[in-house]
Structure 1
Amino acid sequence: MSLAEPDTYDADTARVRPTGPRRRSSVAAAAACVVLGLGLIGGALTGSWLTGDSSDGPGTPDAFTAAGELWHSVPVDKLFPPTVKGDGAGPGGADRTWTRIAVAPDSGCGDAFDPLLQKALAPAGCLRLLRATYTDATRSHVTTVGLLFTKADSAAMGVLHRRFEEQGLATRRDLMPRTYAAEGTPAAGFGDGQRAAWTLSVLTDAPVVTYAVSGFADGRSVGDPQPAADATKADATTPPAQAGLGHDAQGLADRVERSLRKTVDSATEKPS
């Protein structure tokens, strides 16, 4: 875009050069360019606002990127609170309270999942895995909650989410997450055979897979584990359902996921 030259003085005659028809047309063309340029800039800004473009400058990272960095920038008590209250989260709408009894060192995903689940999650990659184990108020149930931070971008997480949904992978028994059995705690005997109910969710607004798996604290084996979605149904009669283990898994997973999102919101909140 070029603007018309300003009026100048002739060095010989010391008077203003006359403005003729050509001069007026140049000014009109310049004005049109200015209007067009402002229109394009305004349109770009409006488009950016409508599409949620996050190019707001430093200090305002987009939520997806911010979520992927939480594993090394947020205290463990933020992601896995020492005490989690589950108002109305138990069978029949009963209140639940879970107490954290162990936190695993952050790690890779080497032995954290059964081979088939490891293969199913492989397209997203494994950046870091965080886990904690909780017990209920009676100390008769134990539940491991996990946050798998992946290497995937938003599009890849969307593809993985659709695959899990369309193929029902989150409810297959051969794709159950593993437990974190910490010695010297009520979860010491919480192994593969003690898994009773589980839930797993591939997020699309963060590069994270959340999951929870629950069982009995006394180390009893469970021959008929159930997805939490089935074990929380009103007419479910299996031992995991009757004991409320589906509610433990679902309730803890939901609340840890909410805590994750609140932390992301705080990290991306623009200063007022």
Structure 2
Amino acid sequence: MSLPRRTLAIASAIVVIAVLALAVGLVMAQPSGGAAAKRTSGAAAQDEAARAVWRSATVEQLLPTSIKREGTETYLRLGIDPDESCAKLPAAFTRELAPTKCTHVLSATYADRTQTVTATVGIVVLSGSVADRLRFFQTWTPDSNANNAAMMPHAYPVPRTIAAQFTDAQRVTWQSQASSDGTYLVYAVAGFTDGRSGPGAAAMAASSGSALSSSSPAVQVAGDLPAAIQDLLSTRIQDSQDGAS
């Protein structure tokens, strides 16, 4: 039995409407999906650009010959450590980097403008997923770590300079600062140029003694240099990300 023409027309109209609805849905979905993919790839590109800064810039650029801070404070680079391996970090230090891992350490020794304090500054390059690096940033505790003598990075003495005798025995204090994305950790370990010995582990744990007071030049330098290097890193990261976008 044949269907009435009205029934066929209605059926045909339903099919046409369904096809049009499907087509419109696909068209509307494409821009949204494309934008989401673009955003995802853009974030990945920016993250990759940030992680590549230590390779795209030289050590001399990341640890420049001089660093000027607010006021009249200036730090002069005395020498760059040719050893970039993570093995030069204390075991207690590298354990605290979890869930990330150290891949390279760029370091140099500086002196303050008055040549009262020398400090070895290090840039620790970290590897790990975005989530791992964010977790590291959130769990790294600079102040409490600074009281842990076992974590204190080694000094780098520079021959034929005022830091020639800057050995581990002369280390007074250290401080650190992690980048907000957990890609870089900057530290500075400081001591006096007159060769005086640093405090023992018990004094460091208690933060006792004039050498560890907030007014101590060594403490001020140890806190200032990581912030200075992080500022330089942030500028280079931003420039690299702008180029990647």
Question: Under TM normalisation by the shorter chain, which class is it?
Answer: 0.7 to 0.9
Deviating 4+ runs (over 6 angstroms): none
Alignment of 1:66 onto 2:28: no
The one-letter amino acid paired with 1:221 is S
Map of 2:59 onto structure 1? 76
Runs of 5+ unmatched residues, structure 1: 1-18, 89-94
Aligned to 1:138: 114
CA contact 1:157–1:202 (8 Å) conserved in 2: no
Q: CA deviation at 1:240?
A: 4.2
Mark the structure with the bigger radius of gyration: 1
Deviations 1:181-205 (A, max 9, x none): 1211211111112111211234341
Report what 1:13 is aligned to: none
Percent identity at matched positions? 25
2-structure distance, mates of 1:170, 1:33: 62
Find the aligned partners of 2:127 and 2:144 in 1 and give their Cα distance: 23
Whether 1:265 aligns to 2:242 is: no
2:211 is the alignment partner of 1:239: yes
What SS is found at the alignment partner of 1:131? strand
Length-normalised TM-score, structure 2: 0.81
Aligned pairs, number: 235
Aligned to 1:120, which of 90, 96, 105? Answer: 96
Distance across 1 between alignment mates of 2:184 and 2:9? 68
More helix per residue: 1 or 2?
2
Residue of structure 1 in register with 2:77 after alignment: 100
Gaps of 5+ in 2: 1-7
- Separation of aligned partners in 2, 1:166 and 1:223: 19
Q: TM-score, normalised by structure 1?
A: 0.74
Question: What is the match of residue 223 of structure 2?
Answer: 250
Change (3 A) 1:268 1:250: same
**Correspondence 1:104-253 to 2 at 5 A:** 104-110=81-87, 112-121=88-97, 123-165=99-141, 168-223=144-199, 238-241=210-213, 242-253=215-226
Let me know the Cα RMSD of the aligned residues: 3.1
Instruction: Answer yes or no: is 1:32 the counterpart of 2:9.
Output: no
| Structure 2: distance between partners of 1:167 and 1:99 | 25
**Aligned equivalents of 1:62 and 1:116: distance in 2?**
33
Aligned partner of residue 61 in structure 2, secondary structure = helix
